[in-house]
Structure 1
Amino acid sequence: MADPIVECPNCGRRNRVAAVAAGVPRCGNCHRPLPWIAEAGDDTFAGAVEQATIPVLVDFWATWCAPCRMVSPALEQLARERAGELKLVKIDCDAAPKLVERFSVQAVPTLLVMHHGQILGRQPGAVPLDALRRWVKETLDRSP
């Protein structure tokens, strides 16, 4: 899959953002941090999540799941708000059975906050944007 194109929220320039990179993606024009939203699967999870230099919000979802589709815009909004501080990685459960088993995903959506390969927090089910903001903030504030 080709790297997605992300529009800079600051200057509007379109930038290609790789799923795996050192540091955080920055706009080629204004150099501000860009929202980092990526997809990963069984074979790409380690690079996209475990090797990330910033905390990662992992979204286990499925194409057939209505609550997943409802929460997705809120997750993307959170990634935009926390550009440079948080990476959003989406995992399609139907295409990543090893990860579903590894993380004991029983329902979708299931959200994890991870940093350096460690799970800092887990949130099953779809929740509104304000609750997501609080959960991510509290989870990151508690982390070592």
Structure 2
Amino acid sequence: MTTIRSLSGFNKRLEAAEHKLIVLEFYATWSAPCKDIDEAVKALARQNVDKAEVIQINVDKFEDLVDTYRVRSKPTFVFIKNKRNIYRVNGADEEKLKHTLFELCK
């Protein structure tokens, strides 16, 4: 799991992922739902480290990415494979997040 610190760092992570599933987690430090699901996201990232890469993006620091990925709620999880957006989960729905990650990592 990686927390983005710069836009160039974000682009490098996307390029380095190659054919891995990428999960962009758009979060806010002040958001209760983001805090509530944080440990579950970390656990999922550890369990799927060989199949998927979770990239955390602070919505208050990267507004351009928020606009690009049309993030309207926090947290929002955007799933990318082969540089294409293939799915998204809006909100702190741990079961939906687990199920989606499992299905897309097959």
TM-score, normalised on structure 2?
Answer: 0.88
Give the greater-gyration-radius structure (CA). Answer: 1
State percent identity of aligned pairs. 25
Matched, 1:48 2:18: no
SS in 2 for 1:119: strand
Contact 1:111–1:123 (8 Å) recurs in 2: yes
* Higher relative contact order (Cα pairs below 8 Å, separated by 6+ residues): 2
SS in 2 for 1:90: strand
Paired AA for residue 42 in structure 1: L
Matched, 1:60 2:26: yes
Higher helix share: 2
Paired AA for residue 39 in structure 1: T
Query: Considering only aligned residues, what root-mean-square deviation do their CA atoms show, in Å?
Result: 1.5
Query: Unaligned 5+ residue runs, structure 1?
Result: 1-36
Q: How many residues are matched?
A: 104
Give every structure 1 segment of 4 or more consecutive aligned residues whose post-TM-superposition deviation is greater than 4 Å.
Answer: none
Query: Unaligned 5+ residue runs, structure 2?
Result: none
Provide Cα deviations, 1:36-82, integer angstroms capped at 9, x if missing partner.
x1012433221112441211111000111010011111111111111
Instruction: Name the structure 2 match of 1:123.
Output: 89
Matched, 1:133 2:98: yes
Contact 1:42–1:98 (8 Å) recurs in 2: no
For the structure 1 residues 118 and 51, does the alpha-carbon distance in structure 2 shift closer, same or farther, using more than 3 Å as the test?
Answer: farther
Describe how 1:7-26 pairs up with structure 2 within 5 A.
Answer: none
